Structure 1
């Protein structure tokens, strides 16, 4: 049977009550050119009666405390990105599919998921600016449903996106207000002094960020790969690391180290190539005092780990984990340097998408809270990130669909010619709990 979706209704969902008007400033991080992008993902739910109706009404209620979400992006006369609180609403599409979720295996196969049918189509013109949030609820014959959502990255990061969706879920379950009150406070994130010094004339409160240099587009398309890692495999590597070093390590550190190491070996870079791992650290707790609970703006910080390709290829997984841990121990120092305008490679340019093949960006979705959203029928059985680029090497660490356990690694990080070797390298690590020991891998000084 051919999978098909019929979109039956389209509308702008507006706040259910009065909301403030006016213009709000975004933070320096919000306004980075690289964040004027859209984050796309699918939430798959096993059950839900009249899901589109319930979620639409809950969205309308949530847009009262989260009224900036119902506004539109604008630029000031100085080119500074802002939010115009117009109350125009978010784009909402109702749709139905011609099969059950079981028939499509709950979209377990990420690479074969029909994103074009499950994500909302083009919204109506809204003064030339798209809504900041767009959603489509597709109901299936089994009473299950899929939410395809598109968020403008400039208004929130992954934690903020999850906070908003969890608030929608609380309204859908009958709560009268969200358990976590939203906090705007974008002005609490200071603009680096070097940009304030560079501003001409009277110092603006929020000067425009520097423009990213033009990118040279590569002539390849990165291939998708999904790798499920069992709890036993992860625990085995954690145990071996503890035995070898006397230190504990996190699941993120294990998975990132295995991915980075295997990818580098598979590609076999030219001798002398500097390979870079970039992960996105949450900066909320790095402020003094920490940002208030409920802050939903962008507050992540790129941390760079750099080493030669030959050293990384020869290193044991334990040594690569230690390298990542050393970078994590420097987060506060690097974040403070960035705020002071002395950030080096961890500065503003790190936010820009990179098409450099030797640079890999790893994003951890499993701890954002997106897998905890509940509209009244339980949490999603699957969260499906949708790649934003086929030329910028990226990996996302999340969870496989329930009832599977462990970690799901989704990557768009290698060319087709390197994919078989990359998958073989990952398999050879014995991440199912039955393969190579960390201590048997070759060691090199990093």
Structure 2
């Protein structure tokens, strides 16, 4: 896949109107050391012909308008110099976000709309992401709009995880889309409300981390190399698996995520079992939205981090022998305990094992659900994206991301980097191996 990206302009986009100048506190979840990272995604939009104005200009102007109610995103991370330990805050200075425009002398069709972007080397895809701004600018959001010859475009989006989770980032981008389509204000009023997620008992834990670690923790590099693979699962297969669960449990229901997570964990275990001992402990980890788990209900417009890790363990032998129904029930039981486990952490500071820092091992599988974040609903005036996909520069933990298949197809797309090359073929054959679960 050869294409040359020519960047034509770059600069900061500040709020289009004056905004408050103050310092805002982050929540106890925002300030977790594991969230000192940048989320990178590509969003592919087909044939932008509804406007005579280039997409880059439309989105740039809309960003300035959206940053008025979302003014903290135009600020900068800082450490509270008056605190007796490094306490991360947001300085609302109105400096703006970093915005780059670029073009490519080919069509999106020629690059297959980046349908299999997860399998393309990062060195190729990074040209669609905004390059680092000059030293010292340190924006929280970076965007590159790359216009293709067909009038379609790709948005390369980089977000500081310290200020938004996936739901919050999508909420902001939907607001930008509304502004681009002529709205005067977002349909959802943004709310900071980080004071509702605080825990004095956890402050001592954060004191143990030096400033340098809080700024950018670097996990150890594992001794394995993970291969990327996309696995498409049809809606018919998903529905068949759900119906099978319904029959075998006497009427209990399960979600699409439950089915896909259980299937991937069990199938991956079978694929890599030649490297495992029968009694070896495997971990399944995923983040659960905790917006409804707090004692005080968060307002609809909250856009900060509000999730908690759910961790499930099982032996290799158990997972190899278990039915899909058994594994789905394990996941459902763990989800049912979310309120208790999250309450222990937020109220009592139970940190013997940090849930936000899982072990970086081949036996750990992290699964994330992206299909319900809201990015597939963002519309800048040319309709929602054909698809969006994560961009992973380093693969240090086995991961499966549950997303949607590119439009107009329906069904689930699993974007994975969870096995070594020796196990890739077995994992890639998974869709044909679903028959043993459908009875």
TM over 0.5: yes
Matched residue, 1:71: 75
How many Å separate the matches in 2 of 1:72 and 1:56? 19
1:419 paired to 2:405: no
1:224 paired to 2:228: yes
Mapping of 1:320-399 within 5 angstroms?
320-341=327-348, 343=350, 349-352=354-357, 354-399=359-404
Q: Aligned to 1:307, which of 309, 314, 318?
A: 314
Give the 3 Å change call, closer, same or farther, for CA 387–2 of structure 1 in structure 2.
closer
Q: Aligned to 2:281, which of 269, 274, 280?
A: 274
How many Å separate the matches in 1 of 2:272 and 2:174? 40
Tell me if structure 1 keeps the 8 A contact 2:196–2:296.
no
How many Å separate the matches in 2 of 1:437 and 1:359? 23
Matched residue, 1:442: none
Tell me if structure 2 keeps the 8 A contact 1:15–1:70.
yes
Mapping of 1:33-432 within 5 angstroms?
33-48=33-48, 49=51, 50-77=54-81, 78-110=85-117, 111-112=119-120, 114-125=124-135, 128-191=136-199, 193=201, 195-196=202-203, 198=204, 208=207, 210=209, 215-246=219-250, 247-268=252-273, 269-341=276-348, 343=350, 349-352=354-357, 354-424=359-429, 426-430=430-434
What does the per-residue CA deviation read over 1:231-279, in whole Å, with 9 as the maximum and x for residues that have no partner? 0110110111111112111100110011000111111121221111111
What's the CA shift for 1:341?
Answer: 2.2
Tell me if structure 2 keeps the 8 A contact 1:334–1:343.
no
How many Å separate the matches in 2 of 1:31 and 1:160? 16
Number of corresponding residues: 421
What's the CA shift for 1:343?
Answer: 3.9
How many Å separate the matches in 1 of 2:156 and 2:72? 21
How many Å separate the matches in 1 of 2:2 and 2:229? 24
TM superposition score normalised by structure 2: 0.92
What does the per-residue CA deviation read over 1:35-58, in whole Å, with 9 as the maximum and x for residues that have no partner? 010000011111324100000000
Tell me if structure 1 keeps the 8 A contact 2:232–2:414.
yes
What's the CA shift for 1:380?
Answer: 0.5
More deviation in 145-154 or 326-335? 326-335
What's the CA shift for 1:210?
Answer: 4.9
How many Å separate the matches in 2 of 1:124 and 1:215? 26
How many Å separate the matches in 2 of 1:352 and 1:339? 16
What does the per-residue CA deviation read over 1:171-213, in whole Å, with 9 as the maximum and x for residues that have no partner? 00100000111111111102152x35x48xxxxxxx6475789
Give the 3 Å change call, closer, same or farther, for CA 129–341 of structure 1 in structure 2.
farther
Tell me if structure 2 keeps the 8 A contact 1:31–1:208.
no
Structure 1: tracts of 5 or more residues without a match: 200-206, 440-446
What's the CA shift for 1:168?
Answer: 0.4
How many Å separate the matches in 2 of 1:227 and 1:192? 43
What's the CA shift for 1:119?
Answer: 0.5
How many Å separate the matches in 2 of 1:65 and 1:270? 54
What's the CA shift for 1:342?
Answer: 5.4
How many Å separate the matches in 1 of 2:18 and 2:303? 21
Structure 2: tracts of 5 or more residues without a match: none
How many Å separate the matches in 2 of 1:162 and 1:209? 32
Give the 3 Å change call, closer, same or farther, for CA 353–389 of structure 1 in structure 2.
farther
Matched residue, 2:11: 11
